[in-house]
Amino acid sequence: MSALAHVGGGTPGAPDDGPPQERGGRSWAPYLLLIPGTIWLLVFFVFPLLQLFTVSLQSGFPGFPGYYYRDVNFGNYLDAITEFAPHFGRSLLYAGLATFFAFVLAYPLAYAMAFKAGKWRNVMMICVIAPFFTSFILRTIAWRQILADNGPVAETLKFLHLLPGGRITETWVAVVAGLTYNFLPFMVLPIYASLERADPKVIEAGGDLYANGLTTFRKVTLPMSLPGVIAGTLLTFIPAAGDYVNAELLGSDRSTKMVGNVIESQFFRVLGGFPTAAALSFTLMAIILAMVFVYIRKFGTEELL
């Protein structure tokens, strides 16, 4: 878990990162150790990416749907973005909402696990991880049953007159709920890891120095867990923005489709859709990269509050 918590640029208080050291002499060991990882990245990341990029610039043979020729057709991007702009918007919005709700749910849970659970800590940890033992497709289908029109949740809400639309599935609420549910552990675990590492004495010091519970949380506990929060939001937001399973299984065919659904259908169902799908993938990747970059620049080094 500690590797996850380091995504946000390292923990400021880790006892092992001592004063900066200078090394005399030059060692080849670090470079040798980098070789396997570099090869892995080249074979499984850079080459497919280049391949995808060339596909995204191909043009279709006129009159022969499904046949392409090599080209530098940036028009694919323009077409894809203009046609599927609402899907991009939904992807980012739903992923953002899911990240927000996951954070709101995960932080108290991680806090309780780190500081209050005592002997129940391991049980809670198992509860967080246990869902991974079944396929997330199956679990998402299960949610379709749970949220179904005459399922327990919808019936109860209808009875309380809290469900104006009359249904949960086929709406954005179900999609966001599904995303939140599916990525919750990725939020809980890094936050827990960083809270668990925080020295309780440091939190006590906040109280000793005239900060009440809320102030101590805002000024001490939360900033100390910030690396975990950053790791958790990234691990939730990035896959959620590219997800298509939740929108597919819980959403509606028209109004809740995300970019992932479009890419999936362009690749596998629409004849001649390859360049569009590839262009969409690339655009999504660029958007996410840009957002992550800004996010880390803003919060990764400075105090959150």
Q: Report the interface residues with other proteins, using CB under 8 A.
A: 11-15, 17-20, 199, 201-202, 204-216, 219-220, 223-224, 226, 303
The C-alpha torsion from 97 through 98 and 100 to 101, rounded to 10°, is 110
Q: Taking a C-beta distance cutoff of 8 angstroms, is the pair 139, 131 a contact? A: yes
CB nearer to other proteins: give 11 or 91. Answer: 11
CB of 234 to other proteins, least distance (A): 19
Rg (CA), the chain: 23
CA 24 to CA 188: how far, in whole Å?
Answer: 41
CB nearer to other proteins: give 222 or 270. Answer: 222
CB of 6 to other proteins, least distance (A): 14
CA 91 to CA 168: how far, in whole Å?
Answer: 19
CA 65 to CA 52: how far, in whole Å?
Answer: 19
CA 183 to CA 95: how far, in whole Å?
Answer: 10
CB of 228 to other proteins, least distance (A): 12
CB nearer to other proteins: give 9 or 131. Answer: 9
CA-closest candidate to residue 196, choices 215, 221, 213, 232:
221
CB of 187 to other proteins, least distance (A): 20
CB of 216 to other proteins, least distance (A): 8
CB nearer to other proteins: give 25 or 200. Answer: 200
- Write the DSSP string, 132-146: GGS-HHHHHHHHHHH
CA 170 to chain centre: 22
CB of 201 to other proteins, least distance (A): 4
CB nearer to other proteins: give 15 or 164. Answer: 15
- Which of the 8 DSSP states describes residue 168? S
CB nearer to other proteins: give 82 or 212. Answer: 212
